[in-house]
């Protein structure tokens, strides 16, 4: 059941009890009026066709709470506490008055994230960026000399700049080691055997030798230097323990005793984990297709990025594009290690759908500069950054890069700056959610939050003032120094 609000709460409508006076120029007050909540209330209400049951929270409360969490970097429990104590946050979420009681409990935030898909968050992001589009004077002020040249010289009607790059957001999992994963699977299987025996008592409880298995695991886990021979011996033992426990569980199920539902998913994952580890052990290899690195989050895959600090990232990979205004958009996100170079043409087509023209130049790194992408850009009059294909001539080796190439490399750093802000300030640096859907939603929310709380967009928010029903829908422009 869903019970939405007819009008957006205005600043004057908020019931400020106990003589409190909210500051109208506060960040949260201004941001609350910068998003057209009512438009998305209608779309969000379609998720609740039934008219029975307790009414769900409003869209403004759901999205507002998630944006606050990204902005402040709080856990679910601390977020509820912070909202309960802060009237500005309650106003931002659309509450009619300040309340000392929490508007929702911490577990409700899991359902909030489930109800917002990546596609919906991307639409909200596009809608917000369209509302917060900067004035032409500001764009001209920010544009580099090279961008102005491109804007003036392009004969194909193209203008503007698009920067695109990919990154990974690591999930909060333990570093996956083969013997450690097998030991974790063994412990979970032993727990399942205990549960089945306690529920049914069909025969004498089978012996699992869990104490011996634990000692074998600790003997390797506590070693500072782990020889390859010792690792292989421990993996062989762990494979034997897991195989025996799986055999016990198969006997229970053949006799008609079913596992409780909450254990079934882990049981199936451990079966696949055993198959993969057995294959790698027998063939003495380190790679296998769709390798499981976490039993509780089997959808996570190892993504090799080649970075000095972390060559391999365990999480989701995604592409982000930045336009000439510095606005970020999530182009693709996946747990699989896809080739980001194949996403450039689709991103350029979406740029044209938004603006009516292709960008004058596109700034990307080497992996995007494929022959197909170069031909596509040449066909549509788009200047692509980077050197030409092929071996450079002898007289070109010692020459310095031109002013245009130097400016392109300088401007492309903007996307790295965005990734730094996204990971350090808006939660994309370590994803704490546990489900595949909520993990992707959390990353998409971090991109949206980075746009919403971008400092240099402060003077371009379009405010929807609803002091009276007659004024609803009218747009006004208000300037202030800093929105973040």
SS3 letters for 187-221? Answer: HHHHHHHHHHHHHHCCCCCCCCCHHHHHHHHHHHH
Residue 182 domain-assigned?
A: yes
pLDDT at 399 over 80: no
Closest to 160 (Cα-Cα) out of 178, 144, 176: 144
Please count the other Cβ atoms lying within 10 Å of the Cβ belonging to residue 338: 16
Residue 11 domain-assigned?
A: no
Note whether 332 and 275 are same-domain residues: no
* CATH of residue 221: 1.20.1440
3-class SS at 326? coil
Q: Could you give the CA distance from residue 293 to residue 9 in angstroms, rounded to a whole number?
A: 47
Note whether 361 and 249 are same-domain residues: no
* CATH of residue 377: 3.30.420.10
- 393 Cβ contact partners less than 8 Å away, ≥ 6 residues apart: none
For 379-387, the CB contacts below 8 A with 24+ separation are: 380/156, 380/158, 380/348, 381/154, 381/155, 381/156, 381/157, 381/158, 382/158, 382/348, 382/358, 383/150, 383/154, 385/361, 385/409, 385/412
- pLDDT tens per residue across span 419-475: 999 999 999 999 999 999 999 999 999 999 999 988 554 433 333 333 333 433 333
Residue 5 domain-assigned?
A: no
Q: Which two tokens stand for residue 313?
A: 């990232």
Question: If you write DSSP's letter for every residue of 345-396 in order, what string do you get?
Answer: HHHHHHHHHHHSS--SEEE--GGG--HHHHHHHHHTT-EEPSPPSSPPPHHH
Q: Could you give the CA distance from residue 327 to residue 161 in angstroms, rounded to a whole number?
A: 11
pLDDT at 208 over 70: yes
Residue 130 domain-assigned?
A: no
Residue 1 domain-assigned?
A: no
Q: How many Cα neighbours within 13 Å face the side chain of 295?
A: 24
pLDDT at 482 over 80: no
Can you give the pLDDT at residue 471?
39
3-class SS at 303? strand
Closest to 238 (Cα-Cα) out of 188, 303, 163: 188
Q: How many Cα neighbours within 13 Å face the side chain of 197?
A: 14
Over range 272-278, report the average pLDDT.
97
Residue 355 domain-assigned?
A: yes
Torsion of CA 179, 180, 183, 187, to 10 degrees: -170
Closest to 248 (Cα-Cα) out of 295, 203, 298, 282: 203
Q: Which two tokens stand for residue 263?
A: 């254990």
Residue 7 domain-assigned?
A: no
Residue 135 contacts residue 110 (beta carbons within 8 Å): no
Note whether 195 and 223 are same-domain residues: yes
The alpha carbon of residue 176 and the mean position of all alpha carbons in its chain are separated, in whole angstroms, by: 21
Note whether 97 and 221 are same-domain residues: no
What is the length of the chain?
Answer: 484
Note whether 274 and 160 are same-domain residues: no
Note whether 145 and 226 are same-domain residues: no
How much is the mean pLDDT over the chain?
85
Note whether 153 and 259 are same-domain residues: no
Can you give the pLDDT at residue 24?
85
- The structural domain count of the chain equals 3
Q: Could you give the CA distance from residue 396 to residue 419 in angstroms, rounded to a whole number?
A: 33
Note whether 315 and 184 are same-domain residues: no
Can you give the pLDDT at residue 114?
93
Note whether 464 and 432 are same-domain residues: no
Residue 126 domain-assigned?
A: no
H or E segment at 434?
A: none
Torsion of CA 413, 417, 418, 419, to 10 degrees: 100
Please count the other Cβ atoms lying within 10 Å of the Cβ belonging to residue 305: 14
Note whether 312 and 440 are same-domain residues: yes
Note whether 230 and 319 are same-domain residues: no
pLDDT at 237 over 60: yes
Pairing of strands 161-170, 475-477: unpaired
- Strand locations in 249-342, DSSP E? 302-304, 312-322, 328-334
Residue 327 contacts residue 453 (beta carbons within 8 Å): no
Residue 340 contacts residue 375 (beta carbons within 8 Å): no
Can you give the pLDDT at residue 56?
85
More confident residue, 391 or 163: 163
More confident residue, 456 or 65: 65
Note whether 308 and 403 are same-domain residues: yes
The confidence band for 484, taking pLDDT boundaries of 50, 70 and 90, is very low
Q: Could you give the CA distance from residue 54 to residue 207 in angstroms, rounded to a whole number?
A: 49
pLDDT at 190 over 80: yes
- 123 Cβ contact partners less than 8 Å away, ≥ 6 residues apart: none
Can you give the pLDDT at residue 322?
94
DSSP helix, strand, coil percent of the chain (3-state; round to 5): 50, 10, 40
- Strand locations in 399-461, DSSP E? none
Can you give the pLDDT at residue 467?
38
- pLDDT tens per residue across span 67-124: 999 999 999 999 999 999 999 999 999 888 888 999 999 999 999 999 999 999 999 9
Range of the domain at 249: 178-283
Q: Could you give the CA distance from residue 311 to residue 101 in angstroms, rounded to a whole number?
A: 46
Measuring CA to CA, how many Å separate 448 from each of 88, 436, 458? 20, 19, 15
Q: Could you give the CA distance from residue 44 to residue 40 in angstroms, rounded to a whole number?
A: 6
Residue 314 contacts residue 170 (beta carbons within 8 Å): yes
């Amino acid at each position: 059941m869903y019970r939405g609000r007819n009008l957006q709460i205005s600043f004057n409508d908020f019931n400020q009890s106990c003589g409190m006076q909210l500051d109208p120029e506060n960040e949260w007050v201004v941001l609350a009026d910068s998003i057209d909540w009512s438009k998305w209330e209608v779309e969000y209400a379609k998720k609740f066709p039934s008219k029975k049951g307790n009414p769900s929270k409003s869209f403004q409360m759901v999205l507002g709470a998630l944006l606050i969490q990204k902005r402040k970097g709080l856990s679910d429990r601390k977020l509820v506490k912070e909202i309960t104590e802060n009237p500005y946050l309650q106003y931002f979420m659309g509450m009619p008055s300040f309340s000392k009681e929490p508007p929702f409990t911490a577990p409700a935030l899991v359902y909030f994230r489930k109800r917002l898909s990546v596609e919906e968050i991307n639409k909200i992001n596009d809608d917000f960026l369209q509302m917060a589009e900067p004035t032409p004077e500001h764009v001209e002020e920010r544009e580099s000399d090279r961008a102005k040249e491109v804007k003036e010289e392009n004969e194909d009607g193209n203008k503007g700049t698009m920067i695109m790059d990919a990154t990974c957001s690591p999930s909060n999992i333990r570093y996956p080691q083969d013997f450690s994963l097998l030991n974790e699977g063994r412990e979970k299987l032993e727990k399942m055997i205990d549960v089945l025996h306690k529920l049914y008592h069909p025969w004498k409880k089978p012996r699992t030798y869990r104490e011996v298995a634990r000692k074998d695991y600790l003997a390797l886990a506590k070693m500072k230097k782990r020889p390859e021979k010792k690792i292989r011996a421990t993996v062989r033992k762990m494979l034997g323990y897991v195989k025996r426990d799986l055999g016990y569980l198969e006997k229970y199920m053949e006799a008609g005793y079913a596992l409780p539902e909450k254990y079934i998913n882990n049981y199936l994952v451990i079966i696949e984990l055993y198959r993969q580890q057995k294959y790698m052990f027998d063939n003495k290899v380190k790679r296998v297709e769709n390798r499981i690195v976490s039993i509780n989050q089997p959808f996570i895959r190892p993504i090799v990025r080649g970075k000095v600090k972390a060559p391999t990232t365990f999480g989701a990979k995604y592409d982000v594009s930045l336009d000439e205004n510095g606005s970020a958009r999530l182009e693709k996100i996946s747990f699989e290690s896809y080739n980001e170079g194949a996403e450039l043409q689709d991103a350029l087509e979406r740029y044209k759908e938004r603006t009516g023209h292709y960008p004058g130049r596109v700034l990307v790194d080497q992996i995007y500069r494929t022959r197909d992408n170069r031909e596509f850009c040449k066909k549509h009059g788009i200047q692509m950054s980077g050197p030409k294909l092929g071996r450079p001539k002898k007289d070109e080796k010692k020459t310095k890069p031109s002013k245009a190439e130097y400016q392109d490399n300088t401007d492309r750093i903007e996307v790295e700056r965005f990734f730094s802000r996204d990971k350090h300030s808006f939660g994309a640096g370590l994803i704490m959610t546990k489900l595949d859907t909520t993990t992707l939603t959390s990353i998409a929310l971090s991109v949206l939050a980075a746009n919403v709380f971008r400092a240099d967009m402060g003077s371009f928010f379009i405010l929807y003032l609803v002091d009276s029903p007659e004024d609803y829908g009218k747009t006004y422009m208000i300037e202030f120094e800093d929105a973040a």
